[in-house]
Amino acid sequence: MAFASPHITAFAVEATEYPDLARRYRVTGVPKTVVNDRIEILGALPEDAFVSQALEAESSPGGDPDGSKSTDP
């Protein structure tokens, strides 16, 4: 998605090299995508499913597609 729009920025972080970030975002498996520090998408998804889940989560009141709480520390 970051390639498709200048409004999106993406970073890949190696959880074992940055344990503080892994703890902050409660990374217990990979891949884990965190959007705007409040939306979590777990697992490798096909592109269309990932985009759909990210857009659905962003538009939902709670912000998370599964209704879980934010990733605030």
Total domains present in the chain:
1
pLDDT at 71: 45
Is residue 59 situated within a structural domain? yes
Contact call for residues 55 and 63 (beta carbons, < 8 A): no
Is residue 20 situated within a structural domain? yes
Is residue 3 situated within a structural domain? no
Domain hosting 70: range is 12-73
Q: How confident is the model at residue 7 (pLDDT cuts 50, 70, 90)?
A: confident
Does 1 have pLDDT greater than 80? no
Is residue 30 situated within a structural domain? yes
In the chain, the N- to C-terminal Cα span, in Å, equals: 26
Is residue 7 situated within a structural domain? no
